[in-house]
A = this chain, B = another copy of it.
């Protein structure tokens, strides 16, 4: 076993990333929560608000507050699930895709900084490690918790 405290180091890396993400979001006039919601919708078109919330580890209520301005701004649209008439599905609009596209060069610059001294093999290994950690965490159950905590 390594001596590294991964819980601590992962948090430190995430904290170190934040100012960069805040800057990217500020450039396109989004909050980080809004930008994250858009990028999740880009990956998973047609998910429900509650699934979007679950994937972002926030309560459905706070996700609704994040999504409402995006609906009003025409960056996201809702459709009815053809199989469950009462279920509403979320999609990026073309304007929403354009907002993400506007952020892309700045995001690419952050990605380059993250991998500044990585070889291609190391980048691939790092990606693999992160996705395995994510899978392990998704499979575990945090002791004494049912609700996931608020995030932003």
Contact = CB atoms under 8 A, between A and B. Distances in A.
A136 B122 CA distance: 15
Interface residues of A, number: 64
Given A23-B144, A131-B9, A151-B15, A1 B123 contact: yes
A10 to B, nearest CB: 6
A127 B9 contact: yes
Interface stretch (A44-52, A64-72, A74-82, A108-116): A108-116
A137 B111 contact: no
Contact of A151 (B5, B18, B24): B18
Interface in A122-147: 122-127, 129-134, 136-138, 140, 142-145
Given A7-B107, A127-B6, A130-B10, A15 B57 contact: yes
B137 A6 contact: no
Interface string A92-118: 000000000000001101110111111
A27 B115 contact: no
Majority-rule SS of A interface residues: helix
A21 interface: yes
Contacts of A7: 17, 20-21, 107, 110-111, 114
Nearest to A19: B142
Nearest to A117: B132
A124 to B, nearest CB: 5
A137 B106 CA distance: 14
